[in-house]
Amino acid sequence: MKYLSYISLIIFLVFPACNNPAQKEKYKPQKQTENTIANNTGNNPKIKVGVFSGNGAGAVSVIETIEALKIDPDITAYPLSPADIITGKLTETDAIIFPGGSGSKQLNSLGKTGKQKVINYIKQGGGAIGICAGAYMMCQTDGYPSLKIGDVKHLDRPHYNRGRGLIEFKLNDEGLKIFPEFKDQPQFIQYYDGPIMAPLNQEKSFKPVAVYVTDIHPNEGYPVGLTPGKLFMYHQSYGKGKIFAIGGHAESTPGIRFMIPRMARWVTNNKLISYDIKWIHPDKNHNAILFDKELKKIEKQLFWQLFESDPTKQKAAMDSLYAMHSRPSVRWNKGLLRDRNPKVRAHAANLLVQTEYTDALKDLKASYKVETDPDAKKAMKRAIDFLQY
């Protein structure tokens, strides 16, 4: 496993990771050898994708999933509540996504009637995607309330809160057919307590897509050596419908958010298309970084440094958080657009570009409207232009 050492982290703290991130990390596209991905010809019928937004669905996960789906010009994405499902809106939807959060709480929010409607919907040809908690929902684990539609179980339930960080996964040949952009590229993704899965059987409809590489055990007393080689991502048929499940958060990982709309196309039997190259940067992610107790402490210390009166210290903290792939710090940069120092505001705009945080567009446009510093205004304009779909 490729851990980022604390020595390296100290280097990040002393020497900021990037002075102007918006000008770095230019992606050089690889030639695609697979013929499964077509160019988007435009004027295609809209694919309607609902993201479950009931209790148990993390508010941030819902937002970031919808934002990732917007990468695809042919997808219309919107939140889908339990009330919407009960009153028939699910049948007007091509696919449903159960996002990160709590799988059991999402199931409780559905209720037994909503659960049966979802199962019937997929059996009759609907598509479904499970992300992290949503993947838990699809499992058939003994003693765990779920939809029980995936031919998998999750392992080591007592240690379900395994931790968070940037982890490595490995796509197999099937995975590379669906995501050829990863060919000869790093394969890392944000992770937050996702399921460690094992297949119940090897039916023809069930296909593994990727396995874990990182040995995830940042918490003391958690089992060592459990995760490497275990199922991380799979897809299968269910009745006339299709399901896709993933143990990590592609929607929250800069450079690979395109995986979410690609999955939506797969489960809805739509042609898999290529996307704007600006969203395809697997090479942004190189090392597994697990947030153990000590690293969480450092992350918190860096958060408090964002309130410093010295802009140099603020920018150094921002860069260090970016370098360690702190997932919550991406959202902290939105607030820093409203800092009193123009250099900090400009730096926040640059980092929002690097992290592809398209949900910040409203904040950027508001800040740009009132910005008086010419350099900060230019940085905000560049960010707005880049983050537009």
Q: In order of start, what are the domains of the chain with their CATH numbers? A: 6-10+292-387 (1.25.10), 28-280 (3.40.50.880)
Mean pLDDT by groups of 10 residues along the chain of 389 residues = 46 44 38 56 83 97 98 98 97 97 96 97 98 96 92 92 96 98 97 96 88 93 93 97 98 98 98 97 94 97 98 98 97 98 98 98 98 98 97
What is the rounded CA–CA span in Å between residue 279 and residue 8? Answer: 28
What single-letter amino acid sits at 182?
Answer: F
State if pTM tops 0.85. yes
Burial 108-119 (b: 16+ CB within 10 A, else e): bbbeeebbebbb
Select from 81, 78, 59, 80 the least CA-distant residue to 69.
78
Strand partners, 208: 234
**Which pLDDT score, from 0 to 100, does residue 43 have?**
66
**Which pLDDT score, from 0 to 100, does residue 26 have?**
38
**Which pLDDT score, from 0 to 100, does residue 221 have?**
85
| DSSP structure string for 82-131 | HHHHHTTGGGG-SEEEE-SB-HHHHHHHHHHHHHHHHHHHHHTT-EEEEE
**Which pLDDT score, from 0 to 100, does residue 201 have?**
82
What is the rounded CA–CA span in Å between residue 106 and residue 185? Answer: 34
Residues with Cβ within 8 Å of 191's Cβ and at least 6 positions away in sequence, in order, are 163, 164, 165, 166, 167, 214, 216, 247, 248, 249
